[in-house]
């Protein structure tokens, strides 16, 4: 008779092995479901604010990486670990949006799996006998029975998080990689700290602190983690111990306070979260916080009519109805405490605490156009989805096995379908803002951003009505005034442009882009000295502004200050190594200074960056002709005409080069074509 062998000491028990295998299968399911639900996002492009996060040209070098870490203001917000990630990503796939979208979806799936792992550790009570599980709904239920009752709740919560459409804004929007990446780091820190809480080893504490610090350097909302851990320990143990629970987290609270102060200062001083739009009293901020909490709860429990930019409501303490929201929050918390629903109360406290930076007590720039945004509750929603999952498990336990599974499957399919549809809204800027305007017709920001997209696509004329509508909705809107002025300049209406740009600067004197655009409009009217002053002011406000540096160079070149212009073009290229127009004008400047051999590399680089630019080929041809390299010049002119057959100046330049080369009949044909296209002989493209 074979004797039964006990497993070696320290080896995992069969249930533990089965649990690990089940967890791996669930993680695989989460990744597959997330990739499927977010598939439309893979076709998305760059949208609003992505340019402020995808690494700018002047930061793509090792020196730029140093600036990301050691220069506050080099990036839109001081999140150096986030921008280091973007720096590495740009090295991997450059300006292709697909790589950023795929990574963001994978990070979201990873966050869902880590959430499941963290909840599993909490529900199973860890390995330490001193940390038994506390019931979701009652302290009187035995731990073993409670585990059976809620078996699988962690993975249902993880799936709800992975597929809930309220997360789409954070996942389909490249700039919100700050949410997905910081949540992964937050949950790694939480898991590491839970392990430390069981074993109390210094190495574990150091690892958890490292994860937490990286999370803070990615997004400051993660500063709420130490408070969240205290809520978790209270839920698990029924009380808090100063020595065991609070004291080890005091350094984390100090790090959180420092990170929060710095981010609040950046929002106020560098981004512009100050002024009349933020002038709320303490009472108004409390009213706002109450309504924000109920708004987010509503979107989680009934995710209908999700919008990229929600309407901004008025906060008025004189309206009795607005007091219902904060009083309702207090009543809900009191009821959960009175009914001893500690699990629900813990989830609500986690939700509210994690939302705290976005409740209105701290000024954040998006409050200018809306007090709420889906991405603000990305991390916080786990506090509500977990009790919801627990409630669903209770309902499923009362149904036949197939019925419970069908109910869960139906809910997840509905959420996944909503996420699929919502992801499609982020396909491109036009779809995003047109959809936003349909759902929120009074959104001045959406009209302004749609106009920006149209102008960037060379459709400045179509942008004008949208900007006029934005200013009708919000008369003192400096960004819209600036964009309207710049579009009028592009349409050849500089006098009208100047009026709008000057108004933008009266509204916001430190608006570097408006100074640059005003300089360009002034140059069009022949006011060169004023234009140079505006470009210089733009650079004073924003020293790494490559476009303003280039424009300053053009202005100096037009004033005959060629040597100074060359230095400005060189600096513009240093700031933006892919700035083809600056390379081209650098070459032109050197040629005009009699240094054509040194100009060749810059012409070649400009053509390498923009091989389909007729102007670049034409300019290079003129420089070659000036150096008596006629055959090469003719090749460049012919290439310019292959790209733009109606390019009158290139026809004329080719005619002159052919005449000098003795090819008179060909020269005559191109001369006649140049005169047909441009009878007045005005320089430039027809």
Residue with tokens 């739009």: 277
d(CA 198, CA 301): 34
d(CA 174, CA 80): 16
Q: What are the pLDDT digits (tens) for 371-423?
A: 999 999 999 999 999 999 999 999 988 889 888 889 999 999 999 999 999 99
What lies within 8 Å, CB to CB, of 674 at 6+ separation is 648, 649, 651, 652, 655
Whats the size of the chain, residue-wise? 686
| Higher per-residue pLDDT: 152 or 177 | 177
- Among the residue ranges 57-61, 519-523, 670-674, 676-680, the one predicted with the least confidence is 676-680
Q: What is the mean pLDDT of residues 49-54?
A: 88
User: Is the pLDDT reported for residue 586 higher than 60?
Assistant: yes
Other C-beta atoms lying within 10 Å of the C-beta of residue 329? 20
d(CA 75, CA 353): 27
* Crossing angle of helices 562-575 and 546-558, rounded to 10°: 170
Is the C-alpha dihedral spanning 126, 127, 131, 136 positive or negative? positive
User: Is the pLDDT reported for residue 288 higher than 80?
Assistant: yes
Q: What is the mean pLDDT of residues 617-637?
A: 94
- Specify the 3-state DSSP secondary structure of 686: coil
How does residue 317 score in pLDDT terms, banded at 50, 70 and 90? very high
Nearest Cα to Cα of residue 310 among 362, 364, 375, 360: 375
Nearest Cα to Cα of residue 254 among 245, 266, 262, 242: 262
d(CA 401, CA 555): 77
What lies within 8 Å, CB to CB, of 658 at 6+ separation is 634, 664, 666, 667, 670
How does residue 136 score in pLDDT terms, banded at 50, 70 and 90? very low
Residues of the chain with pLDDT > 90: what percent?
81
Other C-beta atoms lying within 10 Å of the C-beta of residue 486? 26
pLDDT of residue 79: 96
Buried b vs exposed e over 118-129: b needs ≥16 C-beta within 10 Å? bbbbbbbbbeee
User: Is the pLDDT reported for residue 540 higher than 90?
Assistant: yes
- Specify the 3-state DSSP secondary structure of 440: coil
Instruction: Report whether 181 contacts 82 (CB < 8 A).
Output: yes
Residue 38 backbone dihedrals phi, psi, to 5 degrees = -100, 15
Q: What is the mean pLDDT of residues 283-297?
A: 96
| Higher per-residue pLDDT: 17 or 457 | 457
Q: How many CA atoms lie within 13 A of 351 on its CB side?
A: 25
How does residue 526 score in pLDDT terms, banded at 50, 70 and 90? very high
**CA distances for 154 relative to 21, 88, 386, 416, 540, angstroms:** 15, 33, 7, 18, 54
d(CA 438, CA 306): 12
Structure-derived torsion over alpha carbons of residues 369, 370, 376, 380, reported in degrees to the nearest 10: 170
Q: Would you state the structure tokens that stand for residue 564, as one six-digit string?
A: 């100074």
Q: Would you state the structure tokens that stand for residue 96, as one six-digit string?
A: 């292709």
DSSP string across 298-353:
HHHHS--S--SS---PPP-TT-GGGGHHHHHHHHHHHHHHHTT-HHHHHHHHHHHH
d(CA 161, CA 379): 9
Nearest Cα to Cα of residue 573 among 556, 600, 553: 553
Q: What are the pLDDT digits (tens) for 483-492?
A: 999 999 999 9
Q: Would you state the structure tokens that stand for residue 506, as one six-digit string?
A: 């009266």
d(CA 564, CA 497): 28
d(CA 444, CA 452): 13
User: Is the pLDDT reported for residue 38 higher than 50?
Assistant: yes
Q: What is the mean pLDDT of residues 3-25?
A: 62
Instruction: Report whether 309 contacts 173 (CB < 8 A).
Output: no
How does residue 683 score in pLDDT terms, banded at 50, 70 and 90? low
- Does the pTM exceed 0.75? yes
Q: Would you state the structure tokens that stand for residue 558, as one six-digit string?
A: 């037009």
How does residue 270 score in pLDDT terms, banded at 50, 70 and 90? confident
pLDDT of residue 268: 86
Q: How many CA atoms lie within 13 A of 114 on its CB side?
A: 21
User: Is the pLDDT reported for residue 684 higher than 90?
Assistant: no
d(CA 685, CA 649): 6
Nearest Cα to Cα of residue 378 among 111, 189, 194, 50: 111
Nearest Cα to Cα of residue 193 among 168, 230, 160: 230
pLDDT of residue 135: 38
Residue 361 backbone dihedrals phi, psi, to 5 degrees = -80, -20
Instruction: Report whether 579 contacts 57 (CB < 8 A).
Output: yes
Q: What is the mean pLDDT of residues 580-604?
A: 95
- Specify the 3-state DSSP secondary structure of 576: coil
Q: How many CA atoms lie within 13 A of 634 on its CB side?
A: 16
Q: What is the domain partition of the chain in residue ranges?
A: 18-54+95-424
d(CA 199, CA 126): 10
**CA distances for 299 relative to 10, 471, 508, angstroms:** 47, 30, 35
What lies within 8 Å, CB to CB, of 376 at 6+ separation is 296, 355, 358
Our measurement of the distance from residue 514's CA atom to the centroid of its chain's CA atoms, rounded to an integer in Å, reads 23
- Among the residue ranges 127-136, 438-447, 505-514, 555-564, the one predicted with the least confidence is 127-136
- Among the residue ranges 202-216, 435-449, 665-679, the one predicted with the least confidence is 665-679
Is the C-alpha dihedral spanning 611, 614, 616, 619 positive or negative? positive
Q: Would you state the structure tokens that stand for residue 221, as one six-digit string?
A: 């909302």
**CA distances for 498 relative to 363, 489, 530, 674, angstroms:** 32, 8, 12, 34
d(CA 176, CA 168): 10
**CA distances for 216 relative to 80, 179, 190, 522, angstroms:** 10, 11, 13, 45
Buried b vs exposed e over 41-58: b needs ≥16 C-beta within 10 Å? beebbbbbebeebbbbbb
d(CA 343, CA 550): 60
User: Is the pLDDT reported for residue 19 higher than 80?
Assistant: no
């Amino acid at each position: 008779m074979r004797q039964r062998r006990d497993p070696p000491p320290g080896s995992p028990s069969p249930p533990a092995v089965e649990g690990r295998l089940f967890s791996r299968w669930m993680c695989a399911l989460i990744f597959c479901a997330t990739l499927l639900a977010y598939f439309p996002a893979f076709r998305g492009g760059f949208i609003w604010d992505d340019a402020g996060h995808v690494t700018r040209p002047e930061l793509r070098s090792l020196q730029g990486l140093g600036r990301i870490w050691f220069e506050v203001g080099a990036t839109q917000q001081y999140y150096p670990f986030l921008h280091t990630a973007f720096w590495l990503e740009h090295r991997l796939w450059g300006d292709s949006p697909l790589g950023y979208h795929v990574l963001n979806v994978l990070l979201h799936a990873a966050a869902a799996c880590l959430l499941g792992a963290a909840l599993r550790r909490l529900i199973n009570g860890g390995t330490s006998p001193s940390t038994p599980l506390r019931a979701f709904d009652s302290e009187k239920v035995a731990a073993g029975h409670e585990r059976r009752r809620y078996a699988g709740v962690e993975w249902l919560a993880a799936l709800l998080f992975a597929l809930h459409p309220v997360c789409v804004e954070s996942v389909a929007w490249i700039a919100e990689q700050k949410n997905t990446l910081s949540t992964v780091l937050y949950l790694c820190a939480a898991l590491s700290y839970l392990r430390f809480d069981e074993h109390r080893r210094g190495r574990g504490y150091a690892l958890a602190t490292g994860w937490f610090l990286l999370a803070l350097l990615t997004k400051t909302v993660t500063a709420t983690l130490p408070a969240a851990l205290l809520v978790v320990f209270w839920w698990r143990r029924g009380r808090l111990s100063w020595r065991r629970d609070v004291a080890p987290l005091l350094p984390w609270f100090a790090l959180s306070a420092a990170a929060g102060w710095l981010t609040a200062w950046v929002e106020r001083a560098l981004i512009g979260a100050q002024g009349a739009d933020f002038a709320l009293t303490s009472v108004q901020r409390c009213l706002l916080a109450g309504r924000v909490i109920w708004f987010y709860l509503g979107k989680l429990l009934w995710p209908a009519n999700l919008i990229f930019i929600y309407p901004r409501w008025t906060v008025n303490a004189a309206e009795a109805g607005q007091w219902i929201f904060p009083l309702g929050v207090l009543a809900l918390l009191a009821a959960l405490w009175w009914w001893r629903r500690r699990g629900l109360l813990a989830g609500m406290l986690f939700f509210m605490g994690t939302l705290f930076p976005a409740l209105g007590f701290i000024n954040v720039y998006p409050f200018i156009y809306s007090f709420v945004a889906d991405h603000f509750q990305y991390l916080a929603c786990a506090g509500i989805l977990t009790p919801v999952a627990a409630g669903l498990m209770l309902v499923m336990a009362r149904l036949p096995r197939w019925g419970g599974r069908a109910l869960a499957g139906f809910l997840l399919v509905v959420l996944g379908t909503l996420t699929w549809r919502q992801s499609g809204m982020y396909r491109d800027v036009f779809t995003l803002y047109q959809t936003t305007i349909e759902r929120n017709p009074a959104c001045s920001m959406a009209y302004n951003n749609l106009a920006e997209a149209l102008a960037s696509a060379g459709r400045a004329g179509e942008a004008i009505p949208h900007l006029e509508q934005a200013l009708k909705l919000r008369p003192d809107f400096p960004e819209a005034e600036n964009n309207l002025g710049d579009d009028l300049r592009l349409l050849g209406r500089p006098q009208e442009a100047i009026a709008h740009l000057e108004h933008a600067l009266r509204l916001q004197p430190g608006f570097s882009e408006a100074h640059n655009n005003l300089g360009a409009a002034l140059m069009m009217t022949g006011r060169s000295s004023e234009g140079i002053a505006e470009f210089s002011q733009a650079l004073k406000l924003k020293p790494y502004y490559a476009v303003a540096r280039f424009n300053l160079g053009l202005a100096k070149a037009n004033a005959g200050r060629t040597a100074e212009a060359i230095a400005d073009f060189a600096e513009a290229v240093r700031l933006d190594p892919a700035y083809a127009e600056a390379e081209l004008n650098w070459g032109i400047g050197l040629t005009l200074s009699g240094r054509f051999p040194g100009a060749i590399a810059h012409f070649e680089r400009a053509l390498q960056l923009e091989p389909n630019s007729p102007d670049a080929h034409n300019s290079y041809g003129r420089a070659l002709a000036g150096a008596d390299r006629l055959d090469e010049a003719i090749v460049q002119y012919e290439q310019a005409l292959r790209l733009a057959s109606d390019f009158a100046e290139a026809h004329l330049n080719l005619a002159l080069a052919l005449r000098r080369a003795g090819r008179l009949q060909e020269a005559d044909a191109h001369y006649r074509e140049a005169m047909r296209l441009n009878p007045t002989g005005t320089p430039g493209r027809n």
